[in-house]
């Protein structure tokens, strides 16, 4: 009875707190502990970083990180990176309520070339150090990724750490390993990392700068763990006017992050994904971006829901847009998808209908010259259900060959293809082939 009464009181209080007739806040004040209401201050703390004439003088990740840490101490603010080229040996780690702003194309952050070496001694999950077989090129302060096939696992384990102390080839890490990195699992250390990153942080922005991954001189980093920009377990991130290019991995990747906005950005010449709304990410908005010459332009990962991909120019990727594992209730509209090598929009087959991406809408897009001689502009595979393909322009200006505008698999259901303008294909639709 005590438990019941206590719960009833809590529900009564919660109901009154969120009642529709509660008076609105008309004169907000900054009040201790109140994170919901804040005045719209005309000026906030800003720290500049530059080669000269700046609050912090420098041209490396350490200079930028020092500015981020300074504004973080006071609850957030803006770090303004002045024109110039900045060379990174580690990630710039953002904190909540920090805005990282450049001077457009004149602010360029470049990743230094990577080094790779095997571990010379085993490290267990509780260790906070590693020993490198060849430490040449590794320095205290470097960001690294450790990769190994863990005991009994069928896949590689990746973790990102910073080298914070050394004696010879033996390095201390900023955090414990929390996984085994053994020589029998081919454990290696690689000096690869996201250029700008954050974990469990909220309410931040990256604007008006260029991130260059120096792809030719860096080893690949799996997009589930890195990219030119990478976020993990975050909320309310805005990325505007940013170019991510030449990364040996993803351009922009976010995993289990909600309400992410990517707007007016360029993601080009990256080895893997242009934009990677990652597993479990809810309500992403991807608008007015140019996604060119990546492996896949936009990759909806696992369980990405209620997202919007709007007015993007997606050109010259292997796949324009890929949708799959439980990616449901997304709207893809007013995009232009051109010259995809394999397919313009792909619905992945997954492992049966329980895993497929249902109830997605493809509306008012332009799909031009996508796929090979036997390819298709839109390919819906597996047990995908309840897809609407409405009012799109789907065109082929090359020879028709065996090309199909919309290919619909044998196990799909409730696929609506209506009001589209289709021209130049051998077939407008093809059903039941897989």
Is 181 among the domain residues?
yes
Report residue 433's pLDDT band, with 50, 70 and 90 as the boundaries.
Answer: low
Higher pLDDT, 14 or 323: 323
Please check whether residues 126 and 200 belong to one and the same domain.
Answer: no
CA distance 364 to 421: 10
Is 8 among the domain residues?
no
**Is the Cβ–Cβ distance between 413 and 385 less than 8 Å?**
yes
Report residue 9's pLDDT band, with 50, 70 and 90 as the boundaries.
Answer: very low
Instruction: Give 369: exposed, middle or buried? Use CB within 10 Å, 0-12, 13-18, 19+.
Output: middle
Domain of 312, in residue numbers: 54-112+193-431
Position 13 pLDDT exceeds 60: no
For the stretch 150-207, pLDDT in tens is 777 788 899 999 999 999 999 999 999 999 999 999 999 999 999 999 999 999 999 9
Is 14 among the domain residues?
no
How many domains does one find in the chain?
2
Is 418 among the domain residues?
yes
CA distances from 364 to 203, 390, 404 (A): 32, 7, 19
Instruction: Give 7: exposed, middle or buried? Use CB within 10 Å, 0-12, 13-18, 19+.
Output: exposed
Strand partners, 72: none
Is 9 among the domain residues?
no
According to the model, what pLDDT value does residue 2 have? 39
Please check whether residues 350 and 380 belong to one and the same domain.
Answer: yes
**Is the Cβ–Cβ distance between 92 and 61 less than 8 Å?**
yes
Please check whether residues 124 and 229 belong to one and the same domain.
Answer: no
According to the model, what pLDDT value does residue 27 have? 92
According to the model, what pLDDT value does residue 214 have? 98
Is 203 among the domain residues?
yes
**Is the Cβ–Cβ distance between 268 and 293 less than 8 Å?**
yes
CA distance 66 to 390: 50
State how far Cα 26 lies from the chain centre.
37
Is 25 among the domain residues?
no
CA distance 263 to 237: 11
According to the model, what pLDDT value does residue 129 have? 98
Its pTM stands at: 0.93
Given 190, 220, 240, which residue is the final one in a domain?
190
Please check whether residues 78 and 131 belong to one and the same domain.
Answer: no
CATH of the domain at 394: 2.160.20.10
Please check whether residues 140 and 100 belong to one and the same domain.
Answer: no
Please check whether residues 130 and 248 belong to one and the same domain.
Answer: no
Q: How many other C-beta atoms are found inside a 10 Å radius of the C-beta of residue 415? A: 19
Is 64 among the domain residues?
yes
DSSP labels, 343-400: EEEEE--TTSGGGS--S-EEES-EEES-S-TT-EEEEE-TT-EEEEEES-EEE--S--
Please check whether residues 369 and 426 belong to one and the same domain.
Answer: yes
Please check whether residues 123 and 88 belong to one and the same domain.
Answer: no
For the stretch 104-162, pLDDT in tens is 999 999 999 999 999 999 999 999 999 999 999 999 999 999 999 877 778 889 999 99
Please check whether residues 140 and 82 belong to one and the same domain.
Answer: no
CA distance 379 to 77: 45
Given 173, 190, 207, which residue is the final one in a domain?
190
Buried b (16+ CB within 10 A) or exposed e, 316-348: bbebbbbbbbbbbebebbbbbbbbbebbbbbbb
Position 216 pLDDT exceeds 50: yes
Given 150, 167, 190, which residue is the final one in a domain?
190
Please check whether residues 73 and 146 belong to one and the same domain.
Answer: no
DSSP state of 114: P
Please check whether residues 151 and 76 belong to one and the same domain.
Answer: no
Instruction: Give 164: exposed, middle or buried? Use CB within 10 Å, 0-12, 13-18, 19+.
Output: middle
DSSP state of 112: P
Dihedral sign (CA 215, 199, 284, 414): positive
Query: Which whole number is the average pLDDT over 259-285?
Result: 98
Please check whether residues 249 and 334 belong to one and the same domain.
Answer: yes
CA distance 111 to 105: 16
Position 243 pLDDT exceeds 50: yes
């Amino acid at each position: 009875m005590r438990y019941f009464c206590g719960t009833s009181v809590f529900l009564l209080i919660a109901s009154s707190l969120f009642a529709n007739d509660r008076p609105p806040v008309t004169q907000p004040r900054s009040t201790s502990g109140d994170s919901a209401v804040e005045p719209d201050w005309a000026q906030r703390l800003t720290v500049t970083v530059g080669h000269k004439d700046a609050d912090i003088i420098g041209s490396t990740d350490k200079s930028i990180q020092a500015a981020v840490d300074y504004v973080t101490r006071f609850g957030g603010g803006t770090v303004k990176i002045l024109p110039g080229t900045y060379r990174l040996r580690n990630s710039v780690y953002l904190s909540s309520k920090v805005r990282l702003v450049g001077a457009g194309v004149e602010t360029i952050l470049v990743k230094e070339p990577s080094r790779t070496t095997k571990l010379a001694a085993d490290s267990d999950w509780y260790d906070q150090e590693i020993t490198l077989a060849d430490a040449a090129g590794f320095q205290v302060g470097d960001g690294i990724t450790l990769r190994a096939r863990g005991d009994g696992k069928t896949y590689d384990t990746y973790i990102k750490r910073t080298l914070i102390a050394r004696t010879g080839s033996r390095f201390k890490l900023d955090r414990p390993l929390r996984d085994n990195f053994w020589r029998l699992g081919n454990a290696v250390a690689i000096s690869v990392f996201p250029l700008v990153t954050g974990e469990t942080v909220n309410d931040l922005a990256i604007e008006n700068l260029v991130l260059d991954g120096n792809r030719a001189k860096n080893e690949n980093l799996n997009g589930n763990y890195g990219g030119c920009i990478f976020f993990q377990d975050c909320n309310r991130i805005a990325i505007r006017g940013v170019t991510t290019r030449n990364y040996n991995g993803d351009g922009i990747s976010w995993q289990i992050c909600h309400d992410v906005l990517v707007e007016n950005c360029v993601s080009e010449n990256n080895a893997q994904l242009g934009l990677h709304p990652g597993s479990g990410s809810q309500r992403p908005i991807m608008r007015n971006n140019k996604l060119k010459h990546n492996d896949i332009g936009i990759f909806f990962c696992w369980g990405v829901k209620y997202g919007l991909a709007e007015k993007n120019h997606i050109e010259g990727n292997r796949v324009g847009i890929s949708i799959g594992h439980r990616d449901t209730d997304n709207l893809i509209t007013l995009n232009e998808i051109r010259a995809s090598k394999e397919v313009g929009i792909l619905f992945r087959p997954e492992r049966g209908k329980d895993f497929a991406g249902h109830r997605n809408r493809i509306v008012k897009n332009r799909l031009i010259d996508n796929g090979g001689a036997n390819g298709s502009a839109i390919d819906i595979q597996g047990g995908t259900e309840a897809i609407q393909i409405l009012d799109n322009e789907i065109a082929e200006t090359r020879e028709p060959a065996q090309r199909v505008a919309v290919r619909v698999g044998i196990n799909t259901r409730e696929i609506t293809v209506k009001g589209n303008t289709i021209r130049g294909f051998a077939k407008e639709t093809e059903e039941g082939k897989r």
